[in-house]
Amino acid sequence: MRQGFALPPQSGKTILVLRPSVRVAEQSTGGMAEPRAEWTDQARRHIDAALVELQRQLGNRVIAAPEAYGEDARLVAEHQALFAAVSRAVIEYQFFVGNRLPTKKRDNKAGQFDWSLGPDVAKLPGADQADYALFLYTDDQYGSTGRKMLQIVGLVAGVGVSSGVHAGYAGLVDLKTGDLLWLNADFQMGGDVREADGAMKRVRQLLEDFPGSTIAKEAAAPAATAQAKP
C-alpha cells in the first residue's frame, strides 16, 4: 500500500470498477487450458455481485465503468494494458524483496510503494464520478477428471502433478493522480468462482488487505501468498 494513504472505513468513497478480466477454463489431462464459456459467464456475474456486496460492507459505493466507444474505448484499453504491465512489475520487483529494480532499491528499503499509471486516468470515462478505480483480474483453470486421475496415479508413481490454476490480482488507483494505491496478487487463490459463494470467497480474498478493510482474514492463508508488505 502506498505510504501516507489511508481510507478510513465507512468513508463513503465511490469506486469505479473497470470491466474485470475473467477467464475460466478446464485443465485437460495434459495440462492445456480449455476455455469454458459457461463457467466464464457465471464467474463474471458472481464476481460483479460479490464486489458490490463487499464494498457496501466497507461503506464504499461501487459503480461499473460505462461502456465506452471510439477514443474513450481506446483510452480504457490502453489503461487496462498499462495497469497489467505495472502490476506485473510490482509483483515481480516489489513483492519479492531480493528482486528489486536497481532504480528503486534505495526507496524500497525505506518501505516505499511508489508506482503510478499517470494523471491521464482522470480522462477515463466515468472517472469524474468516482474517487478511485479498481482493476480486477482472475485466471482459473479447473482440473478435469482426467487431470485429477493423473494426479492420483502420479502420487503413487512419485511424480508431482499439479491440478488447476487459480491466479488473481486486484489494484486500486487514485483517479486524480493515477498513483497505484494498493495491489494484491495471489497465484493460489481459493473459492470456486463458478458459484456465488465461491466468488464471494474469491473477492473477499482479493480485497482482504483493501485499505480500510474490516474483512476478516481467512483462517489459513495459502503458503504461496505474495502481498504488498510495506
Partner 1 sequence: MIARMRLAVGVLALAAGVSAQAEPPLPPPYAGAYQPQGVDEQGFWQKMDEEERRLAQSDMVIRDPALVGYVRNILCATVGEDRCGAVRPYILRVPIFNANMAPNGTMQVFTGLLLRVHSEAELGAVLGHEFGHFEARHTLERFRAARSSTDILAWAGVLGSLAPSYDVVRAYRNLEITLISSLYSFNRDHEREADRLGIAYLNNSNLRPQAAAQVWERLIEEYQADALSKGLKKPRLDRVPFYATHPPQVERATTLALLARPEAATRDDGAARYRAALAPWLPQLLDDQIKLNDFGASEYIIQSLAESGWTAPLWHARGELYRLRGAPRDLVQAAQFYGEAIALDPAHPEAHRGLGLALLKTGQAAAGQKALLRYLELKPDAADAKLIGMMIPKEVPAP
**Binding residues for partner 1 (CB under 8 A):** 23, 25, 28-32, 34-38, 40-41, 73-74, 76-78, 146, 150, 153-154, 156-159, 161
Q: Which amino acid is at 201?
A: K
Closest contact distance (angstroms) between CB of 101 and partner 1 is 26
CA atoms of 185 and 95, how far apart (whole Å): 9
Closest contact distance (angstroms) between CB of 212 and partner 1 is 32
Closest contact distance (angstroms) between CB of 75 and partner 1 is 9
In the complex with partner 1, which residue's Cβ is closer, 73 or 122? 73
In the complex with partner 1, which residue's Cβ is closer, 74 or 88? 74
In the complex with partner 1, which residue's Cβ is closer, 78 or 114? 78
Beta strands 33-35 and 21-27 are antiparallel
In the complex with partner 1, which residue's Cβ is closer, 12 or 70? 70
CA atoms of 202 and 193, how far apart (whole Å): 7
Closest contact distance (angstroms) between CB of 64 and partner 1 is 15
Half-sphere exposure of 79 (CA within 13 A, CB side): 33
Closest contact distance (angstroms) between CB of 41 and partner 1 is 8
In the complex with partner 1, which residue's Cβ is closer, 43 or 200? 43
Joined grid coordinates for residue 203 = 473477492
Closest contact distance (angstroms) between CB of 176 and partner 1 is 24
Is the distance from CB of 122 to CB of 7 less than 8 angstroms? Answer: no
Report the run of H or E that residue 136 belongs to, with start and end.
strand 132-143
Is the distance from CB of 24 to CB of 43 less than 8 angstroms? Answer: yes
In the complex with partner 1, which residue's Cβ is closer, 47 or 181? 47
For 65-69, the CB contacts below 8 A with 24+ separation are: 65/16, 65/17, 65/18, 65/19, 65/124, 65/125, 65/126, 66/125, 66/126, 68/125
Is the distance from CB of 91 to CB of 100 less than 8 angstroms? Answer: no
